[in-house]
Amino acid sequence: MWIDTHCHLDAAEFDADRDAVVARARATGVTQIVIPAVAAGNFDTVRLLAIRQGFSYALGIHPLCVMGAGAGDLDRLAEALDTHGIDPRLVAVGEIGLDYFVPGIAPDTQQHFYVEQLKLAKRAGLPVLLHVRRSADKLLAGLRRVDFAHGGIAHAFNGSEQQAQAFIDLGFKLGFGGTLTFDRSLQIRRIAATVPESALVMETDAPDIPPHWLYKTAALREAEPGQARNESAELPRIAQSLAELRGWTLEQTAAITSANARAALPRLGALSSL
């Protein structure tokens, strides 16, 4: 059994064939998918999609969406967490975090939304799904500032070995996906090979971060729209890269990373009985 801990199944890229995408995922052994929200406007979308497909979801405001967020969007998140807080399919607050790679996203605004969402997650007793892009140290500082103790996943982890250990020390797992399949991703592959096995979870971030066999250059993506789409069915093949790095069988990799996902997002453990 595989758990895709991060897939934007509600994205427009899946509108034409979403049910087929889910069927392909299940056919490869992906039995659980976590669908994170990115803005207040898709809170209900991800929740209802997770219910319909038998998956799980997270609610939060993505750092790349904060500039378009309204003044009341944090209140909308607080209300949604209060309303759906006992829903067993609500497994985390996310996707939240900081992104210092994309220009034009005000750092102060990002920081405000990040810290306030950490506070809401703490109040709700839920883990978080963290967006980490050139921001690991400030994310860690925010966790310490809020005294956040519910853990979660550092999604698409791409920091240093020291930053990886700092997240682990705070009770977080590290999410790895398509980037693992690129030979030139030396640091990410080295971290995946050397951190404690209890720290590793698998994800696709679909439709983004395609593995090397799906990757297209920017020019090809423009010429062939939709041809580089990632999806959850790719997860076992992506995980083969982790298995090779760790010297595990694919079955061991599925068992270890799925157990770690349930440890990071405790409500996942009860979903198989629903």
CATH number for the domain including 127?
Answer: 3.20.20.140
Give the model's pLDDT for residue 215: 81
Domain that holds residue 10: 2-271
Condensed to tens digits (0 to 9), the pLDDT of residues 218-267 reads 565 555 555 689 999 999 999 999 999 999 999 999 999 999 999 999 99
Q: Is the pLDDT confidence value at 6 over 70? A: yes
Say if strands 90-99 and 152-155 run parallel, antiparallel, or are unpaired. Answer: unpaired
Percent of the chain scoring above 90 in pLDDT: 92
Say what the pTM is.
0.96
Q: What is the number of other CB atoms lying within 10 angstroms of the CB of residue 134?
A: 13
Return the number of other C-beta atoms located less than 10 Å from residue 73's C-beta.
Answer: 18
pLDDT at 125 over 60: yes
Query: Residue 173: beta bridge partners?
Result: 153
Total domains, the chain: 1
β-sheet with 152-155: strand ranges across = 2-4, 30-36, 56-59, 90-99, 128-133, 152-155, 172-176, 200-202
Residue 106 CB-density burial (10 A; 0-12 exposed, 13-18 middle, 19+ buried): exposed
What six digits make up the tokens of 34?
């976590």
Closest to 251 (Cα-Cα) out of 262, 264, 239:
239
